[in-house]
Amino acid sequence: MGWFRRSWPRLPRRVARFADNEGGATAVEFAMVSIPFLGLLFAIFETAFVFFVTEALESATADAARVIMTGQAYTGAYTSASNFRDKVICPTTGSKLASFITCSNIVVDITTAGSYGATSFGSAVVSKMDYTTTLPSRYCLGTQGDIVVMRVVYPMPVYLTIMSGASLTNFTAFRGGQTNYQAAGDSAASYKHMLMATSVFRNEPFGTQAKATGCT
C-alpha cells in the first residue's frame, strides 16, 4: 500500500505520457486498412481480367461467325461444335485467345432462327448455366440466307475466392454471372465467371448446302 500511495500522484502523468506516444501508429493504422484495401485492389484486378477475357472471346467469336457466314465452315468440313471450336475459335496458330484460356472448356452453341424477331437468347446454353454438368451445345450452321445465332461460353475460374457466390442464397440460379459449374478437367464443381459472346448474322449466298440433322 505504501508503494501505491507513493506512485498514485505520478500515475496521471504516466498515463498521459503513454497516450502521447505515437510510436507504432503507422503499423496499427496499416493493419486496420490493409485487408479491405488489398481486397478492393484484387477485386479490381479480377474485374479487369474478366473484361480482358470477354473482349478476347468476343473478338474470336466475331471471326468464327465470319467463317460460317461465308460458307467456309462447310468447305472446311468442321464436323461438330467441338471440332469447330478447336480449329476455328482457338486454332494451334493465330488464335486471338490468350494461352491461359483452356480451349477444352469453351462451349460453342450454334443454331438457326426463322427471323431476327424470332431470335431467342434463352437457349439451352443460358438455361443450363446453373447446372454442374456439361453445358449442352448445338451445331446448326444453316444454309445460304439463313439467320444464325452463335454463342460462345467460357467458364472462367474465380481467382479471388472472396468474390465467389458460394455463400449467397440461390446464387446458382443467377444467369450471366458466376455460377456453380464443373468445367472439363475439373475434379469437382466450383464457381466460375460465365462469360458469353454472341453473334447473330445472316448467311451469305454461298450456295445450297444440306442442313444438319435437327436444324430448323
Instruction: Print pLDDT tens along the chain (216 aa).
Output: 554 455 556 556 655 565 555 666 777 777 788 888 888 888 888 889 889 999 999 999 999 999 999 888 888 778 888 889 999 998 888 788 888 888 888 888 888 888 777 665 554 444 444 444 455 678 888 888 888 989 888 888 887 766 555 444 444 444 446 677 777 777 777 778 888 898 999 998 877 665 655 465
Query: What are the start-end ranges of the H helices in the chain?
Result: 2-7, 11-20, 25-69, 72-75, 81-84, 124-127
Say how far apart CA 11 and CA 109 lie, in whole Å.
78
Model's pTM, two decimal places? Answer: 0.72
